[in-house]
Structure 1
Amino acid sequence: MNWPLFWALLAGFGIIIGNIMLVKHSASMKMPSLKDAKETSSEPSHNADDLSRRRVGAEKPNSPE
């Protein structure tokens, strides 16, 4: 028997079976909603204008004019 082929096929099937098992395991997990994630964030959100004004020596964004 060609041993490198045997080990390559064994590794390939192992990866496939491992991925199937991982999907089955993670199917029962509950994902947090985006609303909950925003409430628990410790950093306040800022828009781009606030951030550009805070930077010292920041250039203005390019405009088509």
Structure 2
Amino acid sequence: MQSVYVRPGLRNQAIGERLVRLLLDEAGRRGVTEFTVHSSEGALPFYRRLGFVGSDRRLELSR
């Protein structure tokens, strides 16, 4: 997953979370079991809330 971005004026409305969950669900339907995100420092808490784990800027999710 790369370049998921929500404009600042639209943040805190769960738009990013819904978008990422839709992507993960569709990928899962297609048999994808591992996901990698190269995140900015500021987005790390967001991805961790969605279940991604990892070090510094590399986060992965296995389903």
Q: TM-score, normalised by structure 2?
A: 0.31
Higher percent of residues as strand: 2
Higher percent of residues as helix: 1
Q: TM-score, normalised by structure 1?
A: 0.30
Q: Which has the higher contact order (CA 8 A, sep 6+)?
A: 2
Q: Larger Cα Rg: Structure 1 or Structure 2?
A: 1
